[in-house]
Structure 1
Amino acid sequence: MKRYLPLVACAALSAAFPLSAQEAKIYPAPSEIVAAAKADEWVAMAPSDLLVMDLAPDSKGKPRRVVIQLIPAPFSQGWVSNIRKLAAAKWWDGTSINRVQDNYVVQWGDATEKKALPEGLAVVPEGEYIVRSLNQDSQSALAVSAAERARATANSKMLQRDVDPYSDQTYLHKGWPTSNVVGVGLAPTHCYAMVGVGRNLSPDTGTGAELYTVIGHAPRHLDRNIALVGRVIEGIELLSSLPRGTGALGFYEKEEERVPIVSVRLGNEAKDVPAFEYLSTDSESFAAYADARANRRDPFFNVPAGGADICNIPVPIRRKVK
């Protein structure tokens, strides 16, 4: 709730303080920093790296579309390749959202678990949850991420001031939240709106046909245990606001409770898909934004936190400005 002093009272207070106090520096909010970012600090997303899921219209007939950005190399590429094949085969058409667990995940796929999968899907080993050994291409990619982390750390307190309880390091790799366990490897992190692959018990790793997205507090205990393949960049509210399932683990118990999926297509094959871009995590504006997220000094806040969890520095994403 906003509260304002009467104009006369404000004038009296101003007169009571010295000029230096009245001229205290005003710090911009994170949203203001993002709004002021230069055009060349934004990175375009390729349409072919988007997954567009159209749900059945809502009760008022309003269309519902969810847009997912697929994660880039070197992470989860076996599952991402499967997802591309599933979308090309139109496999998700006619399936449904089957699970909505409060403060956890929304999950979708074939509720019957009997729909035949397209041929040619890879069986991805558990070792692919983590990036351990790097080829030349991914080495150069990770060199960039190391530079991003060094720059961001030097210019701001974007990382938590205490050790991350789930890893040795957290930082942003090519715009994605990432964690590193020394001697084990790197993996994406389960932040809000991240998309992962549903699976059964080990050694099953899932094909990518069953997907979920995080709609609650970041379940970081899932890191390195499940493949993360992307993030919802538009329409997460259409999933997070769905009625919670009453069955075990939030699964819907009745067929009529499930939300039908009309189609899932890659962005370059779907109609009317806008262009999207994200704020480069190697940019000066992102360093300022991350610092502002970790140390809120804009007028509403009294005490800066002095640090931030990796999931509390969401990478700004927007429709591309024409």
Structure 2
Amino acid sequence: MKVLLFSGLAMILALGAINAQAQQSSVAEPEVKAGWQTLPQDNLLYLETDQGRIVILLAPQFAPEHVKRVKELVKNRFYDGVTFYRVIEGFVAQFGVPEHEWGSRTKLTPMKAEFSWPVNGRDPYLLVQRPDLLAEETGFNQGFAVAREQNQEWLVHCPGVVNMARANEPDTAVADIAIMLGQAPRHLDKNMSAFGKVIWGQYAVNRLRRGEVADGGVIGSASARTVIKQARLGSDLTPDKQLQLEMLNTNSSEFSQSLAERRSRIHVFYQHKGNGNMDVCYPQVPVREVKVG
């Protein structure tokens, strides 16, 4: 079996009036938007597993071809009945079909990588850290943690980010999807095509059956793996099966205030206030369910 690579959000602590961030003052203030925004059902991927429901927010604005491929596969029921066949604690959970188990499935054309893209000056970008350890800067763009350097932007591999598994060559991703677990594996940044993130059902992710590190996380017996019973786009579900989810706008005053408070560690608990620097993968962007009726 060919061994695949994987990849795998972030709410952060940013924008306080702190000396360590004085170099950020030259950046234009982002336009303030409404606080909570409804997430479109056609960009929500619902995975019904035997451990519970997992919901992934797709990002066609960043990786349009990978999102298009995933949506086509979901429409064709490709992921119904597949398993999480490689799960490494603290690193990655990969689902799909191992190469030696493809059988009569139609072979899919490998995809051209979407590792990064040109910075779009019209995007509602919120600066978090400059410089970042692994990039010129990091920030938030439409709810996703991103990094920027030399007019290129890419999704940061924070916990919960999903990408398309591939072989050693860059343009070899086909269908298998990997969810980032545990600490942020940022060595995968600009090395994998990330196209979304888990926004709901972390409890189910935590219960995914793990493989042995000595075996590369591969779970040899299909009966020992977590099964995806059904994968659907929210737009293909009846309203009673959908979750009405809202995400806090990362360009809102509420989000900026939260980041500034976290960056400055104003709570009396903190005896050491830090230096104001923040990792873009520290907290998650808040998502909430809105009950209808």
Residue equivalent to 1:182: 150
Residue equivalent to 2:49: 55
Q: Report the alpha carbon displacement of residue 299 of structure 1 after superposing the two structures with TM.
A: 3.4
Alignment coverage as a number of residue pairs: 256
Change (3 A) 1:216 1:182: same
Deviations 1:127-180 (A, max 9, x none): x21103x7xxxx4xx42334x33xxxxxxxxx34x6312111101011111101
Residue equivalent to 1:100: 87
**2:263 matched to 1:269?**
no
Q: Distance in 2 between matches of 1:204 and 1:190?
A: 19
Residue equivalent to 1:72: 60
Q: Distance in 2 between matches of 1:213 and 1:198?
A: 10
Deviations 1:258-303 (A, max 9, x none): 1121110101113411111111111111111111222222233222
Q: What are the within-5 Å matches in structure 2 for residues 15-34 of structure 1?
A: none
Residue equivalent to 1:198: 165
Higher RCO, 1 vs 2 (CA within 8 Å, ≥6 residues apart): 2
Q: Distance in 1 between matches of 2:135 and 2:228?
A: 36
Q: Distance in 1 between matches of 2:83 and 2:153?
A: 32
Deviations 1:200-231 (A, max 9, x none): 11043312x20011111101110111111111
Residue equivalent to 1:224: 190
The answer on whether the counterparts of 1:69 and 1:230 sit within 8 Å (CA) in structure 2 is yes
The answer on whether the counterparts of 1:105 and 1:213 sit within 8 Å (CA) in structure 2 is yes
Q: What are the within-5 Å matches in structure 2 for residues 1-322 of structure 1?
A: 40-56=34-50, 58=51, 64-73=52-61, 75-111=62-98, 112-114=100-102, 123-126=110-113, 128-132=114-118, 139=120, 142-146=121-125, 148-149=126-127, 159-160=128-129, 163-182=131-150, 185-207=152-174, 209-246=175-212, 247-271=214-238, 272-305=241-274, 306-320=276-290, 322=292
Identity over aligned pairs, percent? 27
Q: Distance in 1 between matches of 2:79 and 2:211?
A: 21
Q: Which has the larger radius of gyration?
A: 1
Q: Which amino acid aligns with 2:91?
A: Y
The answer on whether the counterparts of 1:106 and 1:240 sit within 8 Å (CA) in structure 2 is no
- Quote the RMSD (CA, aligned, Å): 2.3
The answer on whether the counterparts of 1:267 and 1:273 sit within 8 Å (CA) in structure 2 is yes
Deviations 1:44-98 (A, max 9, x none): 1100100000112x5xxxxx1111100131x111110000000000111111111
Higher helix share: 1
Counterpart of 1:166 in 2: which secondary structure? coil
Q: Could you list the runs of 5+ residues in structure 2 that have no partner in the other structure? A: 1-12, 14-32
Q: Distance in 1 between matches of 2:176 and 2:49?
A: 16
Counterpart of 2:146 in 1: which secondary structure? strand
The answer on whether the counterparts of 1:218 and 1:311 sit within 8 Å (CA) in structure 2 is yes
Q: Could you list the runs of 5+ residues in structure 1 that have no partner in the other structure? A: 1-29, 31-38, 59-63, 150-158
Q: Which amino acid aligns with 2:248?
A: L
Q: Which amino acid aligns with 1:88?
A: K
Counterpart of 2:196 in 1: which secondary structure? strand
Q: Report the alpha carbon displacement of residue 113 of structure 1 after superposing the two structures with TM.
A: 4.3
Counterpart of 1:310 in 2: which secondary structure? coil
The answer on whether the counterparts of 1:52 and 1:270 sit within 8 Å (CA) in structure 2 is no
The answer on whether the counterparts of 1:79 and 1:122 sit within 8 Å (CA) in structure 2 is no
Change (3 A) 1:270 1:68: same
Higher strand share: 2
Q: Report the alpha carbon displacement of residue 118 of structure 1 after superposing the two structures with TM.
A: 6.1
